[in-house]
Structure 1
Amino acid sequence: MLNGIGAPGIILLVILALLLFGPNKLPELGRAVGRTFREFKEGTRDMIANSEPEVKSEAPAPAAQKAPVSLEKRLPE
């Protein structure tokens, strides 16, 4: 994400943030952004965890309906 900005761009962003928010407000702002990212990650993990049991709960196909190994089509490698 920051690869295209470079060092001068990052320095400019820090100076701009200091001017806009002041040095006393920046730590509070950083904590709020960190909390927001943490909550987003936890919500994403919860959504993924809730969707996995649905996939695992599918019943496997009966053995009688499966084709013999020699007749299965294989994808080219």
Structure 2
Amino acid sequence: MFLGLGAPELIFILIVVLVIFGPKNLPKLGKSFGQTVKGIREGMEGEDKPAKADATAESKPAEDVVVEHVDADDEDAPAAAEGKKFCGSCGAENPADNKFCKSCGAKLD
């Protein structure tokens, strides 16, 4: 049972779709439907997280970062001493165990 529809109803719907679109156009229809579902899911995630395709298209090369030695006793130590990583693409702060940036999805070194 799928969305309140039984087997006879689903078979009837499939036959109608086959008659309307024809067997040659069903793969195109399936691909289009899949892309639509993917777009809806990405849209539901919100504007907080850009889509992976957008993030890679807009990504810029990482700039060289100079890390200075920090003593463990220094209370004003940067986040790197606290076990955090910064993204080379967007500069977002990430936990040390992350392999990818939580903001833009770029791979962390």
TM-score of the superposition, structure 2-length normalised? 0.41
Q: Which amino acid aligns with 2:7?
A: A
Q: CA deviation at 1:44?
A: 1.5
Following superposition of structure 1 onto structure 2, how do residues 1-77 of structure 1 map, counting pairs within 5 Å? 2-47=2-47, 49=48
Structure exhibiting the larger radius of gyration computed from Cα positions: 1
* Aligned residues with identical type, % of pairs: 39
| CA drift at 1:27 | 1.1
**More RCO (CA 8 Å, sep 6+):** 2
Once the two structures are TM-superposed, the CA of residue 2 in structure 1 deviates from its matched residue by 2.3
Measured in 1, the distance between the counterparts of 2:46 and 2:39 equals 10
Gaps spanning 5+ residues in structure 2: where? 50-109
**CA–CA distance in structure 1, aligned partners of residues 41 and 5 of structure 2:** 25
Structure 1 distance, partners of 2:13, 2:20, is 10
Runs in 1 of length 4+ with deviation above 3 angstroms? none
Give the secondary-structure state (helix, strand or coil) at the position aligned to 1:34: helix
CA RMSD of aligned residues (A): 1.9
Deviation at 1:46, TM superposition (A): 3.0
Number of aligned residue pairs: 49
Please give the per-residue CA displacement for 1:25-75, whole angstroms capped at 9, x wherever unaligned.
11110110110110111122133x26xxxxxxxxxxxxxxxxxxxxxxxxx
> What is the alpha-carbon distance in structure 2 between the residues aligned to residue 6 and residue 30 of structure 1?
22
Q: How far is the alpha carbon of 1:3 from its aligned partner?
A: 3.6
Cα distance in 1 between the residues matched to 2:16 and 2:38: 25
